[in-house]
Amino acid sequence: MTIRLELKQITKKYPTVVANDKVNLTVMPGEIHAVLGENGAGKSTLMKIIYGVNKPDDGQVFWNGKEIRVASPAAARQLGIGMVFQHFSLFDTLTVAENIALGLPSDTRLDELERRIADTASQYGLELQPQRHVHTLSVGECQRVEIVRALLGKPQLLILDEPTSVLTPQAVEKLFETLRRLAADGCSILYISHKLDEIRALCHTCTVMRGGKVTGVCDPRQETEASLSRLMIGSEPPRITHRDSAPGKTMLEVRQLSLEKSHPFATALENIDFSVHAGEILGIAGVSGNGQQELLAALSGEDGRTEAQSILLDGQAIGKRSVSWRRAQGIAFVPEERLGRGAVPELTLAQNMLLSHQDGAVVKHGFIRFRAIHAMAADIIKRFNVKAGGPRAAASSLSGGNLQKYIIGREVTRNPKVLLVAQPTWGVDVGAAAQIRSELLALRDAGCAVLLISEELEELFQISDRLIVIAKGQVSPSINTADASLDLIGQWMSGLWSTTEAAHV
List, for residues 307-346, the tens digit of each pLDDT value.
999 999 999 999 999 999 999 999 999 998 888 889 999 9
- CA 390 to chain CA centroid, Å, is 23
Residue 141 and residue 189 in one domain = yes
**pLDDT confidence of residue 504:** 41
Separation of alpha carbons 290 and 473, rounded Å: 6
Q: How far is CA 173 from the centre of its chain?
A: 18
Question: Where does a domain end: 176, 201, 233?
Answer: 233
Interval 192-214: pLDDT, tens: 987 888 899 999 999 999 889 99
Query: Is the pLDDT higher at 237 or at 361?
Result: 361
Q: What is the pLDDT of residue 426?
A: 80
Angle at 341 between CA 335 and CA 342, to 5 degrees: 60
Closest to 227 in 3D by CA, of 253, 208, 255, 248:
208
Q: Is residue 119 part of a domain?
A: yes
pLDDT bin (cut points 50, 70, 90) of residue 245 is confident
The domain that holds 108 is classified in CATH as 3.40.50.300
pLDDT of residue 231: 83
Residues 187, 148, single domain; the answer is: yes
Better-scored residue on pLDDT, 176 or 417? 417
**End-to-end CA distance of the chain, in Å?**
56
Range of the domain at 218: 5-233
> Considering the domain boundaries, does residue 393 fall inside one?
no
Q: Give the pLDDT score at 435.
A: 87
Mean pLDDT of the chain: 90
What's the CA gap between 378 and 256, in Å, rounded?
43
In a domain, 361, yes or no: no
Average pLDDT over residues 37-52: 90
In this prediction, residue 181 carries a pLDDT of 86
Rounded to an integer, what distance in angstroms lies between the CA atom of residue 196 and that of residue 199? 5
Q: Where are the alpha helices (DSSP H) in 367-448?
A: 370-383, 400-412, 430-445
| Residue 99 counted as domain residue | yes
Mean pLDDT of 38-52: 90
**What is the DSSP track for 471-489?**
ETTEEPPPEEGGG--HHHH
What DSSP string runs through 251-285? EEEEEEEEE--SSTTS--EEEEEEEEETTEEEEEE
Q: Are residues 83 and 195 in the same domain?
A: yes
User: Which of 203, 233, 263 is at the close of a domain?
Assistant: 233
Same domain, 225 and 263: no
Angle CA 175–178–179, to nearest 5: 90
Q: Are 275 and 254 in contact (CB under 8 A)?
A: yes
CA dist 342 and 116 (Å) reads: 34
Q: pLDDT tens digits for 60-74?
A: 999 999 999 999 998
pLDDT at res. 274:
97
Instruction: Give the count of alpha carbons within 13 A of 361, CB side only.
Output: 11
Domain count, the chain: 2
**Is 8 or 210 the better-scoring residue by pLDDT?**
8
Whether residue 67 is contained in a domain is answered as yes
Of 466, 441, 440, 423, give the one whose Cα is nearest residue 283: 466
